[in-house]
């Protein structure tokens, strides 16, 4: 295992933020985990694990070891498939369909690695990764052991899990229980419109069609992080109880979605109605394609984008009494 020093996060994360990582290493095998743990204990420093760096915001306060996850490998047994955490997510979704394993097609083109999926409980277009996770193998830095956690033990919630906001666990692999027969999920409104545009009905729609349509929608609605540095959705959508929604001031016409006892409100709608879509301040701004996406126009420091996000959150709170939450991990 090789340890490098003073590496810029601008080469490690999709926001291209210019903050420094004191130490850096690449994880290529499980056998290196104990060696990494010993280094952390010896140096008495913290660590963070990166896949493709598409869901992190370096804040300038990190003083530890960045572990770049490069674990690879895919093993299938029937409808179960174990995937190493360093594999690319979109490529795996594509592969699963080629293997005639279904269920993940609505999650196409989400950037990042497989290991980042359960941490964030990624979701899109009416589907969540936790719906298909059977087990997650992790390295526990506290007791220096490898553990296998079942779905319930992962504590999945809306864009969260027990793996988020902690450096205790490193995801080694994720085992999915997929479907041998298609079960098309086309409930999301934007997806319905695209289905109509290609002249197909629910009955003749195939999972590969959904995969292609979701990819098309994402390319159209979200800026490419290679060309326009971003982390996708910077803010979570809002979930309120029936009591809480009586205490906020929503703009007239705000779309409301009820699901499992909670009420979901589009944060993108609130931000756009407040006039932030396409607005720029210095080297950061809100994308003119999607108001949940903050874009870095030049090399920036973490504080610049966080200050800009704070302005948006304060404005939304003053206008609606709703507190937006930041979705990516701050490190």
Tell me the C-alpha distance between 261 and 250, whole Å: 19
**3-state DSSP percent of the chain in helix, strand and coil, to 5:** 30, 30, 40
Q: Which of 46, 69, 92 is the last residue of a domain?
A: 69
Least confident of 46-55, 90-99, 182-191: 182-191
Output the pLDDT for position 69: 98
Based on the fold, state whether residues 323 and 246 are members of the same structural domain. yes
- The reply to whether 86 and 216 lie within a common domain is yes
Distance CA 214, CA 205 (A): 13
Quick check: is 9 in a domain?
Answer: yes
- Give a yes or no: residue 215 inside a domain: yes
What are 191-204's pLDDT values in tens digits? 988 888 888 877 78
pLDDT per position as a tens digit, 103-142: 999 999 999 999 999 999 999 999 999 999 999 999 999 9
Are 48 and 66 contacting, i.e. CB atoms less than 8 angstroms apart?
yes
Residues serving a catalytic function are 159, 233, 327
Task: Tell me the per-residue pLDDT of 266-297, one tens digit each, with 9 for 90 and over.
Answer: 999 999 999 999 999 999 999 999 999 999 99
Residue 286: which H helix or E strand, with range? Answer: strand 284-286
Asked if residue 59 belongs to a domain, the reply is yes
- Range(s) of the domain holding residue 274: 238-330
This model's pTM is above 0.85: yes
């Amino acid at each position: 295992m090789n340890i490098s020093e003073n590496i810029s996060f601008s080469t490690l994360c999709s926001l291209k933020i210019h903050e420094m990582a004191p130490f850096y290493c690449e994880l290529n095998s499980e056998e290196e985990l104990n060696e990494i743990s010993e280094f952390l204990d010896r140096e008495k420093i913290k660590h963070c694990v990166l896949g493709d760096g598409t869901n992190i915001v370096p804040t300038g306060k990190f003083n530890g070891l960045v572990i770049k996850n490069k674990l690879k490998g895919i093993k299938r047994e029937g409808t179960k498939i174990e995937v190493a955490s360093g594999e690319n997510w979109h490529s795996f979704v594509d592969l699963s369909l080629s293997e005639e394993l279904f269920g993940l097609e609505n999650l196409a083109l989400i950037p990042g690695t497989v290991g980042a999926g359960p941490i964030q409980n990624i979701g899109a277009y009416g589907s969540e990764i936790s719906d298909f996770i059977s087990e997650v193998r992790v390295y526990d830095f506290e007791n220096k052991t490898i553990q296998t956690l079942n779905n319930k033990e992962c504590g999945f919630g809306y864009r969260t899990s027990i793996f988020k906001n902690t450096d205790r666990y490193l995801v080694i692999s994720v085992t999915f229980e997929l479907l041998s027969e298609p079960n098309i999920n086309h409930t999301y409104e934007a997806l319905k419109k695209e289905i109509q545009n290609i002249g197909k009905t629910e009955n003749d729609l195939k999972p590969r069609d959904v995969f292609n349509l979701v990819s098309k929608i994402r390319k159209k609605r979200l800026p490419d992080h290679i060309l326009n540095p971003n982390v996708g959705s910077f803010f979570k959508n809002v979930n309120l109880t029936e009591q809480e929604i009586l205490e906020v001031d929503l703009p007239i016409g705000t779309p409301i979605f009820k699901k499992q006892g909670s009420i979901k409100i589009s944060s993108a709608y609130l931000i756009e109605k407040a006039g932030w879509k396409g607005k720029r301040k210095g080297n950061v701004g809100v994308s003119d394609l999607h108001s949940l996406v903050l874009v870095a126009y030049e090399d920036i420091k973490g504080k610049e984008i966080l200050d800009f996000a704070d302005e948006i959150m304060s404005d939304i709170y003053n206008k609606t009494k709703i507190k937006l939450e930041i979705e990516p991990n701050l490190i």
